[in-house]
Structures are given as C-alpha cells and as structure tokens.
Amino acid sequence: MAFLIKSMIGNPLSGMGLGGGGDKEEEATPSDPAKAAGMTREEYEEYQKQLVEEKMERDADFLHKKAERATLRVCLREKYRLPKSEQDENMIEMAGDDVDVPEELLKMVDEDATEEEGKDSLLGQIQNLQNMDMDQLKEKASATVTELKSKAEEKCAVM
C-alpha cells in the first residue's frame, strides 16, 4: 500500500524542476572511459592491453595446472587399471604433450606405492592375519564350504 502511495505522489522535489538535476548528471559522466579513469587515451589503451595479456597468461597457467592434474589422474588410472577418461585425455591434448606431473604429486604417489607393496608382500599378509579374528575367519570358511557343497549337490545327480 505504501508503494502505491509513493508511486502516485512521487518525489515532491522532482516535479518542481529546480535546476534540472537529471541533465547535469548525464553531462558529468564522460562518455570516454579513458577520461573516466583519469588517463589519456594512449595510457588507457596500454592499460587495457596489459590487462588482456595478464588474463591470457593466467588462463594459460590455469590450463597447464589442469593438464598436470589430468596427467596424474591418467597415471593413477593406469596403475590401478581403471577405465580411461576422455576428458583427461582431451585436457592433456589441449595443453600440449609436454605436460609433466609435478614433483610433489609424484612423491605422494611413490609413497603410496611403497606402502601398498609392503601390504602386498608375504610379511604384510601375515601381519594382516594377526589382526584378524580367527573365529570369524573359521566361520566364513565353513560357511563357504557348506555353500559350495549345497551348490554341487544341486548340480550333480551323483552326489
């Protein structure tokens, strides 16, 4: 309701035409952006060119970082035999073939690999057996054997 009243009455000073305030505001803002920035035309053009070059450099750095991450993901996919990703391959192609994985990331992957090798070794498996509950292991083994026997009896008429 208050909105309707304000819109009907409007600003009481705007209708009086004291000095024509709206026209002077339009003239005060220059149409040339160089003047608005307080520079000459040549300085403004140089500034704009510098901004464009900086943006292109940031975009190239960003693209390179994305390609490095994609390369790492490809390496991890190969290591764990996961399906390849077209998106990662496209990202590497866009950045060029000279993309290498950062050293910090390679160190992290190598550390993970050595930990996994320790777990895959015989000693690692023995240590895992010590941590397991033997009763639970026996129950699983007996359940598996009974399940195999029942399936064999269903399929084989001799048994």
- State the Cα–Cα distance between residues 96 and 92, nearest whole angstrom: 6
Which H/E stretch holds residue 68?
helix 41-79
Cβ atoms of residues 63 and 94 within 8 Å: yes
* Count of helices and strands (H, E) across the chain: 8, 0
The domain locations on the chain are: 36-140
Q: What is the pLDDT tens value at each position of the chain, 159 positions in all?
A: 565 556 666 655 555 555 554 544 444 556 777 777 788 888 889 999 999 999 999 999 998 888 888 888 888 888 788 898 899 888 888 877 677 777 777 777 777 777 766 666 666 666 666 666 677 778 888 998 898 888 888 887 665
Side-chain half-sphere exposure of 91, counting CA atoms within 13 A = 19
Residue whose C-alpha is closest to residue 86's, from 105, 73, 100: 73
pTM: 0.45
What's residue 59's pLDDT? 93
